[in-house]
């Protein structure tokens, strides 16, 4: 699936990701999260809209 | 300077390559040269910029997983650094150097 | 996820430096990806495959690129996803 791997839904991924991001990016975490959220939203929306298929069908590099 | 395990170096090492002209070997037979704009800390991918005439530039992104070797060729002078950091991206909110 | 270095775990000052470096690098990379929207991009893939496409978007984990008008060796695919693992490098002009 092309959906981003944010973890199983039962784990409250938003919260877990927030803590992870804070550890990685410190005080800049909110800025990076905002940029990433916008980018992922565009990606998800484009995929929903355009229904792209993988090329090639089988990965070149296994 | 030979670098093994490029994806494992980490931000404090990667940032030392920023604003340097580097030669990157990738995927067995590719060789890229350019000024290093940044390294993605998630994928270890390198963004290289090559300046062309009339303020145009070409950007090469080398995926971190394919990197075989990174060599520093030279440091950017002030003008190149300025051009690199402002040429195609919106104005930065903070400088690279502490 | 990305490991923080062992040294940074022990030293708060170094942890902050590492977080700052990571933010600067990541922000710059995200801006680069955003600037590629609607640009013609040449992809160099493994197995010596070369592709041209109009860039759409990347997912944040840099696993997939969503592109349009992908020129493959066997024709044009209108809408496509490219696995980043298949890609060695890609080029575009600014």
> For B43-88, what is each residue's pLDDT tens digit?
999 999 999 887 789 999 999 999 999 999 999 999 999 888 886 5
pLDDT at B94: 45
CATH code of the region B6-81: 2.30.30.100
Torsion of CA B24, C49, A53, C28, to 10 degrees: 20
B42–C32 CB contact, under 8 Å: no
- Residue C14 dihedral angles phi and psi, to the nearest 5°: -70, -35
**Residue of chain A whose alpha carbon sits nearest to that of C74:** A56
C7-37 as b/e, with b when 16 or more CB fall inside 10 Å?
A: ebeeeeeebebbbbbbbbbbbbbbbbbbbbe
Residues of B in contact with C31 (CB under 8 A): 89-90
Average pLDDT, chain A: 84
Q: Which residues in chain C are closer than 8 Å to B54, comparing Cβ atoms?
A: none
What are the pLDDT digits (tens) for C39-75? 999 999 998 899 999 999 999 999 999 999 999 988 9
Contact criterion met (CB below 8 Å) for C52 and C40: yes
DSSP E strands in A1-62: the ranges are 53-54
Give CA separation, B31 vs A60, B9, B45, C51, in Å.
20, 20, 15, 18
Cα Rg of chain C (Å, integer): 17
Sign of torsion, CA C22 C27 A26 B97?
Answer: positive
**Boundaries of every domain in chain B:** 6-81
Q: Coil, helix or strand for A15?
A: helix
Does any CB of chain C come closer than 8 Å to the CB of residue A10? no
Q: Give the residue extent of every domain in chain C.
A: 1-35, 38-91
C38-91 CATH, one of 2.40.50.500, 1.10.1510.10, 3.40.366.10, 2.30.30.100: 2.30.30.100
């Amino acid at each position: 699936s092309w959906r981003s791997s944010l973890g199983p839904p039962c784990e409250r991924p938003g919260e877990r990701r927030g803590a992870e991001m804070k550890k990685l990016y410190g005080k800049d975490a909110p800025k990076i999260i905002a940029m990433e959220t916008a980018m992922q939203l565009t990606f998800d929306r484009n995929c929903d809209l355009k229904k792209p298929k993988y090329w090639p069908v089988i990965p070149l590099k296994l | 300077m030979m670098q093994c395990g490029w994806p494992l170096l980490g931000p404090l090492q990667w940032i030392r390559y920023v604003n340097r002209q580097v030669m990157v070997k990738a995927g067995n037979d590719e060789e890229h040269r350019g000024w290093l704009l940044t390294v993605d800390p998630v994928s270890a991918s390198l963004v290289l910029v090559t300046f062309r005439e009339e303020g145009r530039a070409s950007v090469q992104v080398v995926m971190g997983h394919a990197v075989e070797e990174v060599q520093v060729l030279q440091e950017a002078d002030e003008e190149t650094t300025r051009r690199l950091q402002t040429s195609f991206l919106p104005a930065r909110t903070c400088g690279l150097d502490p | 996820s990305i490991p923080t270095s062992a040294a940074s775990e022990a030293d708060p000052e170094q942890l902050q430096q590492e977080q700052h470096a990571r933010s600067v690098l990541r922000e710059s990379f995200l801006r680069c990806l955003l600037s590629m929207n609607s640009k013609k991009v040449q992809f160099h893939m493994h197995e010596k495959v070369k592709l041209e496409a109009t860039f759409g978007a990347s997912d944040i984990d840099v696993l997939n690129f969503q592109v349009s008008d992908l020129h493959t060796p066997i024709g044009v695919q209108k809408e496509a996803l490219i696995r980043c693992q298949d890609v060695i490098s890609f080029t575009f002009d600014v």
